Amino acid sequence: MSTSVTSKVGDSRKILTELPGPKSRALHERRKAVVSSGLTQGFPVYIERGDGAILLDVDGNQLLDLGSGIAVTSIGHAVSDLIDAVSEQVAAFTHTCFMVTPYEAYIEVCEALAELTPGTHEKTSALFNSGSEAVENAVKIARLATGRAAIVVLDHAYHGRTNLTLALTAKNMPYKDRFGPFAPEIYRVPTSYPFRDGLSGPEAARRAIDEIESQVGAHNVAAVLVEPIQGEGGFIVPALGFLPALAEWSKANGALFIADEIQSGFCRTGDWFAVDHEGVIPDLVTTAKGLAGGMPLAAVTGRAEIMNAVHEGGLGGTYGGNPVAAVAALATIKTMRDKNLAARARELGSTMLSALTELQRDTLIIGDVRGRGAMVAIELIEPGTTNPNAAAANAIVNYCRSQGVVAISAGTYGNVVRLLPPLVITDAQLSDGLSVLADAVRSVK
Ligand SMILES: *Cc1c(COP(=O)(O)O)cnc(C)c1O
């Protein structure tokens, strides 16, 4: 089937109006009357169409996307295989509810997840709509399977915005403030943050484990839940050895090790999953974001004996594993394989890291350059200190936006600028984006 969507989007950044342009500004005014002001305003250019790494806005500006809608459109915008798969599925049927009358695409997604997630053991999956929902279900499953209550999470963690996942998330503003009370039996321990703690991976793991043992009690722990590279918390890459030590401790103490790969998974870090880098095999893995090319889909995948410990009917939801989202995931995974996007992520990562490391030498405000694959960030500091410099991060993001480059910030202290380009970004597009970012950094006084 050939798609009726013929792209009118160019392949490079082109700015025709001031940003946001007049049509975007008018939409933004309209929004104010009917959209809750509780949602982040972000970069209010209203998007009409996308292609690869370029977004076309309602004023005809072509923007360079270095955020992928927060690591979602890793295969790029308007991928013809995904358009075809979704269009055919919409024409066939859009919903039955998998728990009422099932369909094959759900099984195929679970087969792919069993094959791609780390480890060769038997695995089963359950599909959901959002990352938060997947994390909630991973916690439910871990508690049921172990008969224990305590969930251990890390400083700087982000696991979602529902009530349970807010309890798991670390940062107060804007996520948690005044939204409590939060769920009990969640324990937070120090993470590995090499730029700020200077500890080796095993040392940081020892510090975390000491707290678990003394403050929670090993025998109470249902699961240790970690982001293998922390996303919203500031692209914090733990020192080597930290994750394997926590996974080994979990195994030795009858606790499950859960990897939240919602942001770091699906080729983003140069492997299918970020834990692959150190050969860590989690008991449960949560996925979402990059999994379905922009359609809402999430999953919990894990050891069959754990996943299947749940009684029939204990897991589910009306839309989870919706057929349109499921075929989108299959097209996304096929695209990742066909184009070897894991390898492309590694190439993009080495280009970004070397450009940013060079930039760091020219300025006093970049304290750290870090990341793996196409999940890379700079942490901004006040010159001569390690004090967080959120004002610099904001100024850099705003400068990029003024030039039509979609960049996003992150970090517990709001002082990180993160790069998550679509993995299909071309070399020319990436170098354009990096040169705007360099100008942005140099423009900060
Ligand atoms: C985005 C994210 C979530 C939450 O996913 P939603 O789809 O926004 O609910 C959970 N964990 C991590 C690591 C994330 O990056």
Which residues line the pocket of ligand 1, CB cutoff 6 A?
130-132, 135, 158-160, 227, 231, 260, 262-263, 288-289
Ligand 1 atom closest to the Cα of residue 288 is 7
Rounded Cα distance between 417 and 436, Å, is 13
* Segment 196-217 mean pLDDT: 98
Ligand 1 atom closest to the Cα of residue 161 is 9
CA of 22 to the centre of ligand 1 (A): 33
Give me the pLDDT at residue 7, please.
53
Give me the pLDDT at residue 445, please.
76
Residue type, 128: F
Give me the pLDDT at residue 269, please.
98
Quick count: other Cβ atoms within 10 Å of Cβ 161? Answer: 15
- Average pLDDT value over all residues in the chain: 97
pTM equals 0.97
Kindly report the three-state secondary structure assignment for every residue of 143-203.
Answer: HHHHCCCEEEEECCCCCCCCHHHHHHCCCHHHHHCCCCCCCCCEEEECCCCHHHHCCCHHH
CA of 70 to the centre of ligand 1 (A): 9
Annotated domain spans of the chain: 22-65+340-443, 82-338
Residue 38 burial (CB < 10 Å; 0-12/13-18/19+)?
exposed
Between strands 284-287 and 256-260, the pairing is parallel
For ligand 1, atom 5, which residue shows the shortest CA distance? 131
The first and second tokens of residue 185, run together, are 């039996």
Find the farthest-apart pair of alpha carbons in the chain and give their distance in angstroms, rounded. 63
Give me the pLDDT at residue 302, please.
98
Q: Find where tokens 């109006």 sit.
A: 17
Rounded Cα distance between 76 and 52, Å, is 4
For residue 174, say if its preceding peptide bond is cis, omega within 30 degrees of 0: yes
* Segment 311-339 mean pLDDT: 98
Rounded Cα distance between 128 and 57, Å, is 31
CA of 300 to the centre of ligand 1 (A): 13
Give me the pLDDT at residue 4, please.
44
Residue 419 burial (CB < 10 Å; 0-12/13-18/19+)?
buried
* DSSP run (H or E) holding 418: strand 416-419
Between strands 54-57 and 256-260, the pairing is unpaired
82-338 and 22-65+340-443 share a CATH fold: no
The pLDDT tens digits of the residues spanning 126-167 come to: 999 999 999 999 999 999 999 999 999 999 999 999 999 999
For residue 66, give the nearest of 442, 436, 417, 407 by alpha carbon. 407
Looking at residue 205, the DSSP 8-state letter turns out to be: H
The pLDDT tens digits of the residues spanning 333-364 come to: 999 999 999 999 999 999 999 999 999 999 99
Give me the pLDDT at residue 6, please.
53
CA of 161 to the centre of ligand 1 (A): 8
**Half-sphere CA count of 436, side-chain side, radius 13 A:** 24
Check: CATH 3.30.450.40 for 82-338? no
Q: What are phi and psi of 188, to 5 degrees?
A: -105, 130
CA of 27 to the centre of ligand 1 (A): 28
Ligand 1 atom closest to the Cα of residue 135 is 10
For ligand 1, atom 10, which residue shows the shortest CA distance? 159
**Half-sphere CA count of 151, side-chain side, radius 13 A:** 26
Do the Cβ atoms of 107 and 285 come closer than 8 Å?
no
At residue 3 the predicted structure's pLDDT band, cuts being 50, 70 and 90, is very low
* Percentage of residues of the chain with pLDDT beyond 90: 98
The pLDDT tens digits of the residues spanning 177-192 come to: 999 999 999 999 999 9
pLDDT at 323 over 90: yes
CA of 132 to the centre of ligand 1 (A): 6
CA of 186 to the centre of ligand 1 (A): 18
Residue type, 48: E
For residue 181, say if its preceding peptide bond is cis, omega within 30 degrees of 0: yes
Where b means 16+ CB within 10 Å and e means fewer, 291-313 reads: bbbbbbbbbbbbbeebbeebeee
At residue 8 the predicted structure's pLDDT band, cuts being 50, 70 and 90, is confident
Do the Cβ atoms of 188 and 157 come closer than 8 Å?
yes
Third-level CATH fold of 22-65+340-443: Aspartate Aminotransferase, domain 1 (3.90.1150)
Query: What helix, strand, coil percent values describe the chain, rounded to 5?
Result: 40, 20, 40
Rounded Cα distance between 267 and 81, Å, is 18
**Alpha carbon separation from 7 to 49, 77, 163 (Å, rounded):** 8, 10, 40
Ligand 1 atom closest to the Cα of residue 133 is 9
For ligand 1, atom 6, which residue shows the shortest CA distance? 131
